[in-house]
Amino acid sequence: MLAQSLQSTIALMANRTFSESLVRFFNLVNTRQDDLMRALYEHVLLVAIPVGIAILIAIPLGILATRYKAVEIPALNLASIGQTIPSLALLALMIPIGLGIGRRPAYIALLIYAVLPILRNTFTGIAGVDASLKRAARGMGMTDMQMLRKVEMPLAFPIIMAGIRTSTVMIIGTAVLAAYIGGGGLGSFIVTGLGLVRDDLILLGAIPSALLAIFTDLILGRVEDWVTPRGLKV
Amino acid sequence: MVVFEDVTKIYDDETVAVDGLNLTVERGEFMVFIGPSGCGKTTTLQMINRLKEPTSGRILVNGEDTRDMKAVDLRRNMGYVIQEIALFPHMTVGQNISVVPDLLGWSQEEKLERARELLALVDLDPDVYMDRYPRELSGGQQQRIGVLRALAVDPDVLLMDEPFGGLDPLTRDQLHDELKILQDKVQKTIIFVTHDMDEALKLADRVTLMRDGKLVQVDSPEEILRNPNDEFVADFIGSERRLISPLDVLVREVMLEDIPKLGSDASLDDALSLMQEKKTDYIAVADGDDFKGMLSAHRLQELRLDTGPESSIGDAELITVTVDSRETMMTAVHRLAETEEHVLAVMNRKGKLVGAISRGWLPDILAKELWPKEAAGFETEES
Ligand SMILES: Nc1ncnc2c1ncn2[C@@H]1O[C@H](COP(=O)(O)OP(=O)(O)O)[C@@H](O)[C@H]1O
Ligand SMILES: [Mg+2]
């Protein structure tokens, strides 16, 4: 069904110019402003909630993984497996495993997806802190917590932040697919647009989500820069 | 004071890194551990602040068994400086110096004041350097801060693991001098690890030489240079260093042992032929066991002009200045200079002639025996 609708959409669109589509898209932005805002808000939640929870899980887990081999291997492996499953498949999988459709299964699927970049960067960021710095820190009498707080976290933070950025931008894209399992968000315009063969509706989902990804990337890039300790920049 | 009692460290892979170490480092002493790479120096040092735990034996710091202390307390009261310097790159110079004061909960003002005081100690202007980041400093400046960081809470004991190993020779030299001056001011018990003999000799009150986890010799630098315990120590020191001051060498080690002899009834011509034959610039004059004195080529020349080549040696005034074979070359050289003679007779304990020290031969002995070109010295860890 999806392939069919795509084919017909492409066939239709091939007959129009992109500028015509854009004009129709802007009209739609005007007439359906409320819908757009609601979908945008839903989309932001589809990103913020899974990424927020992923941060809360992945950073402590990443830290534990640097401390205990028994955590490192299963955690990093599970996260990579989660990442390997194609995103649409992962979303669809929520239905047969009994989570049904709607926002909640979408959040869960996206969360599974969001964890890996943050977990991996937390682990490599902390494990990558120079061994001699850790030796010096311990040799001066820091406890493990003090070393984490005063040395490892400040030095690893830009890398962890890069992981959060990667994860967030990636989830903005993946969240578009959440509409297929009734998760709402900007993807719902695209799904409907594909069904009705309305290019302006497709653009109503595609353009804002693309812009959202670009702006988020820019802003988080600035944050990354901002959390980089000054001593590493000079 | 740091005392090792039968300290042994065996790693999980059964490497015996330190083997039955017994040693006392006195309060205020500058003790240098030296030995080839892998002989257990770092392991020994890290057992003092418990970065590594001994497999058996114990270590006492100021009389207290380190195992009875909390590791973090022990470490906070013990400076630690390492080759990698390892200043925290995200902290300013002031913050780096204040790491341990911070752990001990000092107030902001106390930390700042102490950091200023310490910077001044190594002639770094606090107003310039306090807020710099490590990356904005040269390697030498960084390690100066590394040393200050270790001194921040005025610990009794300072552990230094090849602290200047990563610096260029010029900077290293400068830091040696500064460390010496600093040590005069702060009087810490310093345990300093190196594989560089020059560094050890320059800094140490005492040197501990290690091999395969065992002590080979513990002595003052002078004593090690003069009396290496065995072949290993001698090799390790390197011949050119061992004789760092050629004048410390004993006469008997380098004297000329081949002494052409003539009776006092021989003629001056005989003496000249003998010198030419033996290629020396002296001969000894003795009637049997009765040593009369030395005749130098220089003196012989004068005598031949004065009394003619045919006259016998017996009438001539001989050189009777002697030096004991156990004296140093310094004594011998001074004696040559003071008496303005050209040759000294070397006598053994029983007053028997055993050799000669000749003016003309001094450059040869310097070049060949004391400062040999081929003595490359101990340059690299591997050698
Ligand atoms: N963590 C470790 N595990 C196993 N062997 C080690 C470890 N650390 C050091 N060693 C071994 O112990 C010996 C002494 O090492 P070390 O104390 O570092 O020597 P040095 O500082 O004199 O070069 C070496 O053979 C080294 O390979
Ligand atoms: Mg070492």
Whether residue B65 sits in one domain with residue B123 = yes
Q: Closest CB to B86: pick one of A135, A232, A234.
A: A135
- Please check whether residues B178 and B283 belong to one and the same domain: no
Domain count, chain B: 2
Is the separation of the CB atoms in A169 and A216 below 8 Å? yes
B92 touches A at CB < 8 Å:
yes
Query: Is-contact B177 B199, C-beta < 8 A?
Result: no
The minimum-distance atom of ligand 1 relative to the CA of B210 is: 22
Q: Which domain holds residue B315?
A: 247-365
For ligand 1, atom 4, name the residue with the nearest CA.
B11
**Cα-to-chain-centroid distance, residue B168:** 20
Contact indicator for B347, B323 with CB cutoff of 8 Å: yes
Contacts of B376 (CB under 8 A, 6+ apart): B238
State whether B209 and B260 are in the same domain: no
pLDDT tens digits in sequence order for chain B, 383 residues long: 999 999 999 999 999 999 999 999 999 999 999 999 999 999 999 999 999 999 999 999 999 999 999 999 999 999 999 999 999 999 999 999 999 999 999 999 999 999 999 999 888 999 999 999 999 999 999 999 999 999 999 999 999 999 999 899 999 999 999 998 888 888 899 999 999 988 998 899 999 999 999 999 999 888 888 788 888 888 888 766 655 566 667 788 788 888 898 888 888 888 889 888 988 888 999 888 888 888 888 888 888 888 887 888 877 788 889 998 888 888 888 898 898 888 999 998 778 888 999 888 888 877 766 665 654 443 333 33
| Interatomic CA distance for residues A101 and A184, integer angstroms | 10
Q: Which of residues 193-232 of A touch B (CB under 8 A)?
A: 229-232
Cross-chain residue pair A132–B92, CB shorter than 8 Å:
no
Q: Which of B47, B77, B88, B131 to mutate to test the interface with A (most CBs of A within 10 A)?
A: B88
Q: Which amino acid is at A73?
A: I
- Tell me, yes or no, whether B23 and B150 share the same domain: yes
The residue in chain A having the minimum alpha-carbon distance to the alpha carbon of residue B102 is: A142
Amino acid at A207: I
The alpha carbon of residue B175 is apart from the nearest alpha carbon of chain A, in Å, by 20
State how beta strands B157-161 and B189-194 pair: parallel
A2-232 to CATH, choices 3.40.50.970, 3.40.50.720, 1.10.3720.10, 2.40.30.10: 1.10.3720.10
Within this chain, do residues B287 and B232 fall inside the same structural domain, yes or no?
Answer: no
Helix H segments across chain B?
A: 41-48, 71-76, 93-97, 99-103, 108-121, 126-129, 139-151, 169-186, 197-203, 221-226, 231-237, 239-242, 251-254, 268-278, 297-307, 329-339, 362-365
Q: Averaged over A147-170, what is the pLDDT?
A: 97
Give residue limits of the domains in chain A.
2-232
Cα A137 to ligand 2 centre (Å): 18
**What pTM does this model have?**
0.77
- Mind giving me the DSSP string for B308-336? -TTSBGGGSPPB--EEETTSBHHHHHHHH
Name every chain A residue with its beta carbon within 8 A of the beta carbon of B100.
140-141
Ligand 1: residue whose CA is nearest its atom 3? B11
pLDDT of residue A21: 86
Higher pLDDT, A21 or B63: B63
Task: Please tell me the predicted confidence (pLDDT) of residue A122.
Answer: 97
Rounded to whole angstroms, how far apart are CA atoms B275 and B231? Answer: 38
Cα B2 to the center of its chain, rounded Å: 22
Strand order from edge to edge, sheet including B261-262: B261-262, B282-287, B290-296
Q: Cβ of A130 and B84 within 8 Å?
A: yes
> For position B340, which CATH number holds?
3.10.580.10
- Whether residue A231 and residue B73 make contact (CB cut-off 8 A), yes or no, is no
End-of-domain residue from the set B237, B263, B279:
B237
> How many angstroms separate the CA atoms of B149 and B172, rounded?
18
Residue A64 has pLDDT above 70, yes or no: yes
Orientation angle between helical segments A69-84 and A33-67, nearest 10 degrees: 150
- Both B90 and B219 in a single domain? yes
Question: Which residue blocks in chain A are alpha helix, DSSP H?
Answer: 2-14, 18-31, 33-67, 69-84, 87-93, 103-127, 131-139, 144-147, 153-174, 187-196, 199-227, 230-233
Could you tell me if residue B371 is inside a domain? Answer: no
User: Do B88 and A139 make contact, defined as CB atoms within 8 angstroms?
Assistant: no
Closest CA to A121 of A46, A55, A214: A55
B49 has a chain A CB within 8 A of its CB: yes
- Does the distance separating the beta carbons of B90 and A231 come in below 8 Å? yes
Give the three-state DSSP class for B287. Answer: strand
Strands B322-324 and B343-347: parallel
Domain boundary among B174, B208, B237: B237
Is residue B201 within 8 A of residue B40, CB to CB? The reply is no
Report the separation in Å between the CA atom of B8 and the middle of ligand 1, taken as the mean of its atom positions: 13
Question: Residue B16 Cα, ligand 1 centroid: separation in angstroms?
Answer: 9
Is the Cβ atom of B39 under 6 angstroms away from ligand 1? yes
**Which residues in chain B are contacts of A150 at CB distance < 8 A?**
88, 99
* Burial classification of residue A106, based on how many CB atoms lie within 10 Å of its CB (0-12 exposed, 13-18 middle, 19 or more buried): buried
HSE of B49, CA atoms in CB hemisphere, 13 A: 32
Centroid of chain to Cα B88: 34
Atom of ligand 1 nearest to the CA of B41: 22
Q: Evaluate: CB of B11 within 6 angstroms of ligand 1.
A: yes
Query: Tokens 């002078």 sit at which residue?
Result: B222
Which residues of chain A have a CB within 8 Å of the CB of B88? 133, 136-137, 150-151, 231
B379 part of a folded domain: no
Residue with the smallest CA separation from ligand 1 atom 14 is B40
Q: How far apart are CA B79 and CA B41, in angstroms?
A: 17
Same domain, B207 and B262: no
B215 and B269 inside one domain:
no
Is B122 part of any domain? yes
Asked if B59 and B2 count as a contact pair (C-beta separation under 8 A), the reply is yes
* Residue B40: CATH number of its domain: 3.40.50.300
Q: Does residue B242 lie within any of the structural domains?
A: no
Q: Same structural domain for residues B147 and B175?
A: yes
pLDDT at A15 over 70: no
**Which residue of B lies nearest to A144 if distances are taken between CA atoms?**
B72
Please enumerate in sequence order all residues whose Cβ is within 8 A of that of B24, keeping only pairs 6 or more positions apart, or say none: B1, B2, B3, B4
* DSSP bridge partners of B158: B79, B190
A3 to chain B, any CB pair closer than 8 A? The answer is no
Are B260 and B223 contained in the same domain?
Answer: no
Ligand 1 touching residue B18 (CB < 6 A): no
Order across the sheet with B214-219: list the strands: B78-82, B157-161, B189-194, B30-34, B206-211, B214-219
Selecting from A139, A146, A151 the residue whose C-beta is nearest the C-beta of B88 gives A151
Whether B370 is in a domain gets the answer no
How much is the CA Rg of chain A, to the nearest whole Å? 21
Same domain, B230 and B293: no
Same domain, B222 and B281: no
Radius of gyration of chain B (CA): 29
CA of B210 to the centre of ligand 1 (A): 13
Answer whether A128 touches B (CB < 8 Å).
no
Q: Do B93 and A234 contact (CB within 8 A), yes or no?
A: no
Residue B296 structure tokens: 């130098």
Q: What is the spatial distance between Cα B83 and Cα B93, in angstroms, rounded to a whole number?
A: 18
ipTM (interface predicted TM): 0.87
Q: What does the pLDDT read at residue A11?
A: 63
Q: Which residue of A has its CA nearest to B70?
A: A141
CA dist A173 and A118 (Å) reads 17
* Rounded Cα gap, residues B248 and B231, in angstroms: 19
Helix (H, G, I), strand (E, B) or coil at A107: helix
